[in-house]
Amino acid sequence: MSEPSITSHAPDRADDLRSRLDGLVDRVNTATANAGRAPGSVKLLPVTKFFPASDVEILYDLGRREFGESREQEASGKVAELTASGRDGIEWHMIGRLQRNKARSVAKWAHTVHSVDSERLANALDRGASEARAVGERTAPLRVLLQVSLDADPTRGGVAPDEMLALADLVEKVESLTLAGLMAIPPLDTTPEAAFAKLAKLHASLLSQHADATELSAGMSGDLEIAVAHGSTCVRVGTALMGGRPITSP
Ligand SMILES: *Cc1c(COP(=O)(O)O)cnc(C)c1O
């Protein structure tokens, strides 16, 4: 790993992020213990969307190596900035809704995509990842989580539960994707408890056919304890770490 370049961040922001990160690590550890689960079995994924690359640099310098982003253009800009600053070894997660025409770009930088919800999108990502591998832009296959819909609202994204297993079979079959697990965003009209309980059942059903699909991406700033109680292995945390969205965000 090369030496990170010296960047002078506003010291207040660095202190702020450090104390929030410490608090969140404690929160995740407590939730894990309270759920009777093994220490370290839940990953904290910082979500840095809407925040500048300088914040990602601070978090990197605090030891984080995985980040979640939700918009292709914003993410690829930050990937370039972090690379230019000499901070390597980062695993970038695409967690937001993804248009098929962005699949090719995402396949260049993403380690994992959490939001695959259709065969067309899976095929586009597979083509993109295969192209990226052919020209040496990536080596590993693209890890994919299926985003499952816990209600009938098509605007939130997610594959319908009764189409989940067919989509999983397709992802397993294609060359440059690997099926890593399941993701969901709880609907607004149910309790998180009910939503995550339903998600846990769907994950068990996926695991019965695809034993390696062990990842369960569930839980955000407001509901991560409930998600961890229902088997989450990855909590995606934005606001509780980064603070409110900056006014300069596009
Ligand atoms: C923004 C976002 C998050 C983080 O949500 P917070 O409530 O800010 O922690 C998690 N998952 C997805 C898919 C997101 O888009």
CA of 68 to the centre of ligand 1 (A): 9
pLDDT in tens, 77-116: 999 999 999 999 999 999 999 999 999 999 999 999 999 9
Q: Where are the domains of the chain?
A: 9-242
Domain 9-242 class, CATH top level? alpha beta
Residue 134 pLDDT grade (very low, low, confident, very high; cuts 50, 70, 90): very high
Residue whose CA is at the smallest distance from ligand 1 atom 4: 238
Residue 246 pLDDT grade (very low, low, confident, very high; cuts 50, 70, 90): low
Q: If we measure between CA atoms, which residue out of 27, 73, 71, 64 comes closest to residue 46? A: 64
Question: pTM of the predicted model, to two decimals?
Answer: 0.94
pLDDT in tens, 12-54: 999 999 999 999 999 999 999 999 999 999 999 999 999 999 9
Does any ligand 1 atom lie closer than 6 A to the CB of residue 236?
Answer: yes
Res. 250: pLDDT tops 60: no
CA of 238 to the centre of ligand 1 (A): 5
Residue whose CA is at the smallest distance from ligand 1 atom 10: 236
pLDDT in tens, 166-211: 999 999 999 999 999 999 999 988 999 999 999 999 999 999 999 9
Residues contacting 142, CB < 8 A, separation 6+:
107, 110, 111, 112, 113, 125, 126, 128, 129, 176, 177, 178
CA of 6 to the centre of ligand 1 (A): 30
